[in-house]
Structure 1
């Protein structure tokens, strides 16, 4: 009986800190699941924070890429917003120069614009991707390691 009372006294203070299951809560701090190694080079984790549903017609995904990792060229049926929250990354739209994105940068990629984004050669990157609807990403071309390396060299000189 004494053990039960002690256990109850230990558990009761923590009951006030539990989340109410009536709310839909996702944690930004969770790394997510390791992404299958398709359409990118390197290591990536994805955490789907919000899925388009009913009145909310957009998605929010946290993506984390280890250094020297990149997505292939792709496009979306809606505009995409990328918010860099940790590290540094590269970003390029087809026909334009590649740039370096840093913590706090927010970039909008218009719908149907081919682009790619990644970590830098030396730094991991974590970003929030906001995009609309339920249509899947259209993957258009493999981004080779040689091309990625050439972008890294070019941006390092600047």
Structure 2
């Protein structure tokens, strides 16, 4: 019986000094949730990979836009970085020419810069969006289907 209590004491001490076995793990492969159809045309899926907190000063969201889907014009109060991990899409800042973004591109958008991003007409696009969520996205203007279509025609020739 004495050996039992000694063993129990050793096990209790081990548990007291052992690392917490809880891991905060999310899967990159999770498609996420379908975004409510607000401020975009088409179909979008969002997966919050990392949430801003006291130790991490930004969010990381995986966004997948199905082919022929686009966000409205918007801006952020902080820098935003888009890391395109799959597919082809479009990106444009107000007053500049649209850009065909593709897998491997890293796009940095300065704070308070009005812009939009989307999938291409023929291809889904998946990107990681890094940004601070302290202030909500400011939606500035609807991006019409006609304008998106004109960008698609222009960029398909490049």
Report the TM-score when normalising by structure 1. 0.86
CA–CA distance in structure 1, aligned partners of residues 157 and 145 of structure 2: 19
CA–CA distance in structure 2, aligned partners of residues 38 and 144 of structure 1: 13
CA–CA distance in structure 1, aligned partners of residues 74 and 61 of structure 2: 16
Deviates more, 1:21-30 or 1:144-153: 21-30
Q: Please tell me whether residue 43 in structure 1 is matched to residue 43 in structure 2.
A: yes
Q: Please tell me whether residue 124 in structure 1 is matched to residue 130 in structure 2.
A: no
Matched position secondary structure for 2:148: helix
CA–CA distance in structure 1, aligned partners of residues 136 and 50 of structure 2: 15
CA–CA distance in structure 2, aligned partners of residues 105 and 96 of structure 1: 18
Instruction: Specify every segment of 5 or more residues in structure 2 that has no aligned partner in the other structure, as ranges.
Output: 1-19
Aligned twin of 1:5: none
Instruction: Specify every segment of 5 or more residues in structure 1 that has no aligned partner in the other structure, as ranges.
Output: 1-19
CA–CA distance in structure 2, aligned partners of residues 49 and 156 of structure 1: 32
Aligned twin of 2:4: none
How many residues align structurally? 139
Matched position secondary structure for 2:147: helix
CA–CA distance in structure 1, aligned partners of residues 148 and 157 of structure 2: 15
Q: CA shift at 1:21, angstroms?
A: 5.8
Deviations 1:89-147 (A, max 9, x none): 10000000001011110010000000000000000000000002421100000000000
Matched position secondary structure for 1:54: coil
Report the TM-score when normalising by structure 2. 0.86
Deviations 1:43-97 (A, max 9, x none): 0000001111111110000000100000000000100000011100100000000
Alignment of 1:7-156 (within 5 A): 22-156=22-156
